[in-house]
Structure 1
Amino acid sequence: MRALSLLVRLLRRHGHHARRRRAPQPSHPCGYTRQVHPQRNHRRDPRPTVEDMESLGAFLKNRRDRITPAEIGLRTYGTSRRVPGLRREELAQLAGVSAGYYTRLEQGLAESASEQVLDALARVLRLDEVESAHLHNLARQSGRSGLSEPPAETPHERVLALLAALDQATPAVLLGRRGDILDWNRAGHALMGDGMAFDTPQDPDRRPSVPRAFFLDPLARDFYRNWSELAEIHVGYLRLTAGRYPTDARLAALLGEIMMGSDTFAGLWATGDVRDCTTAAMHIQHPTAGALSVTYQVWLQPDSPDHRLEFYTPNDRGSADALRTLIP
């Protein structure tokens, strides 16, 4: 009861309406939501472009440094090497492009790269499907500059109808491009938004932002018993999203804010890892239901490709019983 009372007090303290022009309020593409207001910084605009956070050249260099000559059968004949991985000319030769062209590509001086060149680089660098998609996204966006304010996200009517028709014993949450909660059913609200008003996601200026709550709210580490594992998934997915939408001003503000507010986020971002966020286990210490374990599964929406419908299913009988206590 003490934990629940503390959570409710904190929610009320942070629960007043956000002002216009603020970045969207916290939610979580892989769980827990609690409203944490954006930090105010009057000395600098915490809105990097995708080139500040990630670029084609930076991603290529990061992956080039990870591939050793021995891994791809290159002989070094015992010579000393000044780079941890492949040299530029070695990668260029293996990918079938000139060393000069690859150097310009990595330095951001080449105007474009063909699909064939990108596929060849992905093959040599041993990128998986998600990393390859990220490479292509970065190449398509290379050279674009400036940020623009995106329109408020609107859930598709068919997705809302599906959410309303779901068995209320199955928690479900609809997530937007940046991990904002766009809607939820009663069980999803009870699991991930306990203490918040049920209609909070209906107002674009009040929607919880999952990544912000996950990295900037100290209570998130208590809520998620496997917080460190989920943090890696979060950062990898945000990097993938940043490559898709480099001019999204709200996304840029969110990334900049979390980067400045979380050393863990900054350290994970520096690894250069990219991954999708489609399914994983979440081990939760819920304030009312207690310890439980669920698996989230994401259903992508063809009509709204930016939106993800996330379902939570229990991993054991005890967790199933705990979920049933959330909805009388």
Structure 2
Amino acid sequence: MTVTPLPGGARTRRRRPELASFLRSRRERITPEEVGMPPGGPRRRTPGLRREEVAQLAGVGVTWYTWLEQGRPINVSAQVLDAVARTLRLDAAEREHLYRLADVPPPPAADDEARTVPRDMRTILDGLDPLPATLVNARSDVLGWNETYAALFPTVVDAPDGERNTLWFAYTTPPCCNPILNLQEQAPEHVAVFRYRYSRHLNEPGWRELVQRLCAASPEFARLWATHDVAPPRPCDKIFHYPAVGTVATRTTSLDVTALPGTRLVVYTPVDDESRDRIAWLRAHPEAAAPPHRH
């Protein structure tokens, strides 16, 4: 086995000592009896499992695991790291922490987990009424919403699975039915922020599939995606037009939901009294924001 330079440079080197300490602490908390191994008797000096026992249970080489726990610059694959995580009985947070310390992209969460809206978030969404608010995941799939959001964006909330996504709505809705008035102005930053999030999910099929579908359905998205521009998320101005009331100007604010990593609460705040009144009218007349025809 040879030691080869790792991608990540100084960042990876800084993480390896932390990785070594973390693995050692998780190994030492598991007793041999918990994993069906002989207790080892009173002469056993290790408080938990030995390194060779972890390697045996995970199906990896003893030397490889020893070097990993020593923080040496060895290559680590997601499959082998996952075997180590199972052996050490890491929970979801510990598993994600392990992947980050090893500088390996964590595998995606199950779709069912990513789409579950906790009851407290449902209460928060409803409590924000009459401000339009929605819960979206990192991929911009819409997971939950309140009545005002549904009144303003019926096309989104009524969309089938796979299309209930704010990016899909913005870039595939025909101009005659798209209420986003300043899409051309916001589009470059919109796509750049999505790429910023995409870079953390490069190995996930769902993300790649969404990008492929968007590029095929929207020449504008494909053009912007090809620029490779990237930008961190920040509040932005979004202006909408509805034939029944006219222009509605809002400021969007995204709040990360710590209980659901990668998920954010997006709130649309009207920037003037006129927009506030128009949102209130649309909430009272939810049918008014529906597209005038079908495609």
Fold shared by both chains (TM-score > 0.5): yes
Instruction: Kindly state the Cα deviation for residue 279 of structure 1 after the two structures are TM-superposed.
Output: 1.0
Deviations 1:179-225 (A, max 9, x none): 1111111011111226855xx7xx8x366111112112223784211
Equivalent residue of 1:304, what SS? Answer: coil
Match of 1:151 among 101, 106, 111: 111
Instruction: Kindly state the Cα deviation for residue 259 of structure 1 after the two structures are TM-superposed.
Output: 1.7
> What residue number does 1:299 align with?
255
Deviations 1:28-62 (A, max 9, x none): xxxxxxxxxxxxxxxxxxxxxxxxxxxxxxxxxxx
> What residue number does 1:111 align with?
6
- CA 1:266–1:307: 2 relative to 1, 3 Å: same
Of structures 1 and 2, the one with the larger relative CO (CA 8 A, separation 6+) is 1
- CA 1:188–1:148: 2 relative to 1, 3 Å: closer
Measure the CA separation in 1 of the matches of 2:269 and 2:173.
25
Question: How high is the TM-score relative to the length of structure 1?
Answer: 0.52
Deviations 1:161-184 (A, max 9, x none): 211222x21111111121111111
Q: Is the 8 A contact 2:156 2:165 kept in 1?
A: no
> What residue number does 2:207 align with?
251
Match of 2:198 among 229, 234, 242: 242
> What residue number does 1:76 align with?
none
Measure the CA separation in 2 of the matches of 1:182 and 1:220.
26
Instruction: Kindly state the Cα deviation for residue 150 of structure 1 after the two structures are TM-superposed.
Output: 4.0
- CA 1:221–1:141: 2 relative to 1, 3 Å: farther
Instruction: Kindly state the Cα deviation for residue 247 of structure 1 after the two structures are TM-superposed.
Output: 2.2
Asked if 1:327 corresponds to 2:272, the answer is no
Q: Considering only aligned residues, what root-mean-square deviation do their CA atoms show, in Å? A: 3.1
Could you list the structure 1 runs, at least 4 aligned residues long, displaced by more than 6 angstroms after superposition.
Answer: none
Q: Is the 8 A contact 1:149 1:250 kept in 2?
A: no
The alignment covers a number of residue pairs equal to 193
Q: Is the 8 A contact 1:294 1:313 kept in 2?
A: yes
Measure the CA separation in 2 of the matches of 1:169 and 1:267.
36
Q: Is the 8 A contact 1:141 1:246 kept in 2?
A: no
Match of 2:151 among 182, 187, 190: 190
Measure the CA separation in 2 of the matches of 1:211 and 1:275.
16
- CA 1:296–1:156: 2 relative to 1, 3 Å: same
Which structure's CA Rg is the greater one? 2
- CA 1:117–1:178: 2 relative to 1, 3 Å: closer
Measure the CA separation in 2 of the matches of 1:227 and 1:279.
15
Q: Is the 8 A contact 2:249 2:271 kept in 1?
A: yes
Tell me, which stretches of 5 or more residues in structure 2 are unaligned? 15-99, 285-295
Measure the CA separation in 2 of the matches of 1:179 and 1:311.
14
One-letter identity of the residue aligned with 1:114: G
One-letter identity of the residue aligned with 2:261: P
- CA 1:141–1:219: 2 relative to 1, 3 Å: farther
The equivalences for 1:1-328 within 5 A come to: 111-116=6-11, 140-141=103-104, 150-152=110-112, 153=114, 154-166=116-128, 168-193=129-154, 197=158, 205=161, 208-219=164-175, 222-328=178-284
Equivalent residue of 2:231, what SS? Answer: coil
One-letter identity of the residue aligned with 2:148: A
Deviations 1:107-165 (A, max 9, x none): xx96322345899xxxxxxxxxxxxxxxxx9x9458x9xx9784232123322221122
- CA 1:196–1:245: 2 relative to 1, 3 Å: closer
Measure the CA separation in 2 of the matches of 1:221 and 1:276.
29
One-letter identity of the residue aligned with 1:226: N
Measure the CA separation in 2 of the matches of 1:117 and 1:249.
26
Q: Is the 8 A contact 2:136 2:263 kept in 1?
A: yes
